Amino acid sequence: MTALTSFSVITRSSSEWIDITGKVEKAVAASGLREGICVVFVPHTTAAVTVNENADSDVPRDMILALNAISPDRQEFRHGEGNSAAHAKTSLVGPSLTLIVSGGRLLLGAWQGIWFNEYDGPRTRQVLVRVLGE
């Protein structure tokens, strides 16, 4: 079986991580998939998706600080829109995840959550979820 769904994420600041674990779990549950793969894809060039700790809210905050240190705004950037640092962070993190579904549930580690990453907000974003399997 296969199913494709999507949901919106409204971001409220220029750089922000939003926990979308519950929304992805809901999409998997609604599909009826028991065993297979869940692909999460963000169709944007200044937003990304990753897996990281969702127990301590300081973790996403610290990850944003770390990524800002790796990719600060630079005067040498040429891209006319002025958001090259956001494009760089998006490429570092990536646009998609492949997750394992077993017994109808996502197999995430005890401390893992799925984080939508905004790097050029605030905006209304989309997240696509494709489930494949049986």
As a whole number of angstroms, the distance between CA 67 and CA 110 comes to 24
Side-chain-side CA neighbours of 98 within 13 Å: the count stands at 4
Among 81, 104, 111, 126, binds Zn ion (CB under 5 A): 81
Instruction: Kindly state the smallest distance separating residue 95's Cβ from Zn ion, in Å.
Output: 15
**112: β partners:** 53
Give the interface size with Zn ion as a residue count (CB under 5 A): 2
Nearer to Zn ion, 62 or 81 (CB): 81
Residue 83 binds Zn ion, judged by CB under 5 A: yes
Lookup result for tokens 């127990």:
55
Nearer to Zn ion, 9 or 47 (CB): 47
Instruction: Kindly state the smallest distance separating residue 91's Cβ from Zn ion, in Å.
Output: 12
As a whole number of angstroms, the distance between CA 54 and CA 52 comes to 6
Instruction: Kindly state the smallest distance separating residue 51's Cβ from Zn ion, in Å.
Output: 25
In this structure, which amino acid lies at residue 97?
L
Interface residues toward Zn ion, by CB under 5 A: 81, 83
